[in-house]
Amino acid sequence: MEDLVWTTLIRALAFGTPILLAGLGEIFAERSGVVNLGVEGMMALGALAAFAVAQSTGLPLLGLAAAVLAGAVAAALFAVAAVSLRANQYVAGLALTMLGLGLAGLLGKPFEGAPLAHTLSETSLMALALLLALALWFVLRHTYWGLVLRSAGENPETVDAMGINVFSVRYAAVVFGGAMAGLAGAFLSLAYRPSWADGITSGLGWIAVALAIFASWHPLRAVVAALFFGALYHLSYRLQAQVTPELLKAMPYLFVVLVLSLSALGRGPSGAPEALGTPYERGERR
Amino acid sequence: MRKVFLTVLVVLLGVFGWAQGDKLKACWIYVGPVGDYGWSHAHDQGRIAAAKALPWLETQYVESVPEAQAEAYMDRLVKQGCQVIFATSFGYMDSVLAAAKKHPNVIFAHATGFKRAPNVATYMADFYQLYYLNGLMAGALTKSNKVGYVGAFPIPELKRHISAFALGVRAVNPDAKVLVRWIYEWYNPAAAKEATEALIADGADVFAFTEDSPTVIQVAAEKGLPSFSHYSPMQRFAPDYVVSGQLVHWDKIYIDFLSKVYAGVYTPKNLQNVDYWWLLPQGAVELGGKFGEPINPKFIPVLKAKVVDHPVFGKISVYDLVMKELALMKDDELAFDPFQGPVKDRHGKLRVPAGLRMTKQQLESMEWAAPGVAGPWPNEPK
């Protein structure tokens, strides 16, 4: 029993790391008022960039940097459409997911099945994710820039009135979110399962989007949520003989629906940014 | 001038037409990407080998074709001049039959299926003999008496393979168990990884799997545990930890089939009973995690050191046993078979009476589990 708890915790941490990283990024983007459903696509691009660079240079840390860059560039592309051009954020995000997955699959052909000589350790990235969660919570909660970011998501008009450019704030948040999704991808292709293959993200990006909501956009609650989702995932294999695996795997989504329903009833933590999903336009009244 | 031009055109057309007539165009439809290192990759290797071996063969392929769209893709391939179409996923079955009806002069061949028509043949290269041999080695190598198996879907094909594997494990190690976990996907590295971690946590120390990525091998190798390669030559992902495995040679079937089409033996009218079920004797499958190497030399000493008391061969090392039974099965399908009766299922019910073997049909629809298999087993007959 003790062994079951211990191994489940370890595995929950490992599996929780990519969804925590990407989820933290999504929390930042959404806190600034932009829903980016392109997490899955950015994660795939990050995973490929990390693997391609690490494999050809032999330097996994350079791969990590490449992943961050790839995710950020993809997110910037999304931001042009969703922030500057005020396109529908949901549609633009879905497009980014499809584009990212397709592009990564296409460009990744030469790397399929290639071995990786130098990998990163799961543990160090797990620790990094936990530290990042703590740091991001601090930034969001206790710094001026955190306040500005949150305001951009709650009441962009006020931010604008303060003389701060809402677009720049949102760009920064979205690009940062992309960088985090790229990092999550790098964890997959350099540490979790060092290799590249089309479809390596297998839906983790969507769990990260769900995580942002489940954690009610709070970086520290995101850690708990990631552990919880990770534990459910591990247990769906561990307890396969006792519990239907489909049920355990559907849990993350079930819980998201539950949290959303509870907050709609006004009984649970919600914290959804007021202006979430609404493109900002100067001088327009809501 | 115009006359000259016309003459040239006619001559060119003539030459082109003649060249066309002498060629045979075969096309492949894959369910996954050719780079997935699993099922579709292996079929594509078969296509490439066939194109190399047959100078008159022209090939084309489409990858990642969803099962619901297969028919439209087949129509397109026919329009592009494909005379033979290989549909390489079980789920294409009904689309193949529908397309075959629409295009009666085109030859279709469907991998793993069981529905045929005058212009639809079926084919399969099966691994169950190799799984048994892998099982012998796994049974000899496990110290915890727990062998882990990560399976994709609980369908007859996997049940047959896992049962053959478990029979092998038990043949050399009557106390061992095969712990099975399903991931309900053909390709999902994250799921395969967590399933392997779960098996490790439950004490398994040797691994085999049916999934299209080398994940299980990599995860086991990180912990220093041996595993068996599946389908593609995956030994290179962990050269020190992969013991053996199963390899496929689809090219053997493709070359045989296409040569017979080219020679006029197979026509769009006589395929109703053409069903390839190719095993070791036909060279369609090979033992190993690397072509040309049935057992990783690193594991030969320990397999030679493990001696068991075999009912037929007496005292024999597991290494010799594997090689002997491999030679027997290669030589003649009738010499030895993993499902040689009497075989009971895990609840003690007699499934194959003494002196009998399972028919191909029984193997293809097998749902019961062999003794030693532990874990969920959907649709298990009572």
Out of A267-281, B143-157, B225-239, pick the least confident.
A267-281
Between A193, A198, A234, which is nearest B36 by CB? A198
CA dist A247 to A45, A93, A239, B217, Å? 30, 28, 11, 28
Q: What pLDDT, in 10s, does the model give residues B119-139?
A: 999 999 999 999 999 999 999
CATH superfamily placement of domain B128-247+286-374: Response regulator (3.40.50.2300)
pLDDT in tens, B321-356: 999 999 999 987 778 899 998 999 999 999 999 989
Alpha carbon distances (Å) from A59 to A4, A116, A196:
36, 10, 16
Mean pLDDT of the residues in chain B: 91
Residues of chain B neighbouring A204 (CB-CB closer than 8 A):
190
Instruction: Please report the number of interchain residue pairs, chain A to chain B, with beta-carbon separation below 8 angstroms.
Output: 85
Range in B32-36, B186-190, B241-245 the model is least confident about: B32-36
Q: How confident is the model at residue B184 (pLDDT cuts 50, 70, 90)?
A: confident
Asked if residues A199 and A105 have their Cβ atoms less than 8 Å apart, the reply is yes
Kindly tell me if the per-residue pLDDT of A3 is higher than 90.
no
CATH 3.40.50.2300 fits B23-125+250-278, yes or no: yes
How far apart CA B152 and CA B188 sit, in angstroms, is: 9
Instruction: Give the per-residue pLDDT at B13.
Output: 47
pLDDT computed for residue B9 by the predictor: 52
Encoded tokens for A44: 């795939």
**B36 to A109: CB separation less than 8 angstroms, yes or no:** no
Q: What is the pLDDT of residue B18?
A: 42
pLDDT of residue A185: 97
pLDDT confidence bin for A275, thresholds 50/70/90: confident
pLDDT at B1 over 60: no
What gap in Å lies between CA B172 and CA B38, rounded to an integer?
30
pLDDT at B178: 97
At residue B90, the pLDDT reads: 87
pLDDT in tens, B227-274: 999 988 999 889 999 999 999 999 999 999 999 999 999 999 999 999
Nearest CA in chain A to B238: A115
pLDDT in the model for residue B382: 80
Q: Measured between alpha carbons, how far is B163 from B161 in angstroms, rounded to an integer?
A: 5
pLDDT of residue A269: 54
Joined together, the tokens standing for residue B370 give 């062999």
Strand partners, B309: B315
Amino acid at the residue B261: V
Give me the residue spans of the domains in chain B. Answer: 23-125+250-278, 128-247+286-374
Lowest-pLDDT range of A23-27, A240-244, B91-95: A240-244
For B198, the closest of A113, A194, A238 (CB atoms) is A238
Q: How much is the average pLDDT of B73-89? A: 95
Torsion of CA B288, B289, B292, B295, to 10 degrees: -50
pLDDT value at A117 more than 60: yes
pLDDT higher for A98 or B2? A98
Q: What are the structural domain ranges in chain A?
A: 2-264
Which residues from B are below 8 Å from A when comparing CB atoms?
33, 35-37, 41, 181-185, 187-191, 193-195, 197-199, 201-202, 213-215, 218-219, 232, 236-237, 374-376
Chain segment A119-174, per-residue pLDDT in tens: 899 899 999 999 999 999 999 999 999 999 999 999 999 999 999 999 999 999 99
Split at pLDDT 50, 70, 90, the class of B6 is low
Q: Measure Cα distances from B342 to B208, B311, B357 in Å.
A: 25, 13, 9
Q: Would you state the pLDDT for residue A199?
A: 84
Nearest Cα residue to B88 out of B63, B68, B52, B106:
B63
pLDDT digits (tens, 9 = 90+) for A62-88: 999 999 999 999 999 999 999 999 999
Angle at A174 between CA A170 and CA A176, to 5 degrees: 115
Task: Give the SS3 label for residue A206.
Answer: helix
Residue bearing the bigger pLDDT, B368 or A261:
B368
Q: Given CB atoms, is A188 within the 8 Å cutoff of chain B?
A: yes
Confidence band (pLDDT; 50, 70, 90) for A284?
low
Does position B47 have pLDDT exceeding 70, yes or no? yes
Strand duo B275-278 + B227-231: pairing: unpaired
Name the band, by pLDDT with cuts 50, 70 and 90, for residue B15. very low
**A214 pLDDT band (50/70/90 cuts)?**
confident
Is B198 within 8 Å of A105 when comparing Cβ atoms? Answer: no
- Nearest neighbour of B37 by CB, restricted to A15, A113, A241: A113
Distance CA B256, CA B113 (A): 18
For CA atoms B347, B349, B351, B352, the dihedral sign is: positive
Q: What pLDDT, on a 0 to 100 scale, did the predictor assign at position B14?
A: 46
Average pLDDT of the segment spanning B210-220: 90
What pLDDT, in 10s, does the model give residues A169-205?
A: 999 999 999 999 999 999 999 999 888 888 888 889 9
Chain A residues closer than 8 Å to B197 by CB: 7, 11, 14, 234, 237
Domain A2-264 = CATH 1.10.3470: yes
Distance from CA of B40 to the nearest CA of A (A): 13
Query: Does residue B63 carry a pLDDT above 70?
Result: yes
Buried b (16+ CB within 10 A) or exposed e, B247-284: bbbbbbbbbbbbbebbeeebebeebeebebebbbebeb
Q: How confident is the model at residue B19 (pLDDT cuts 50, 70, 90)?
A: very low
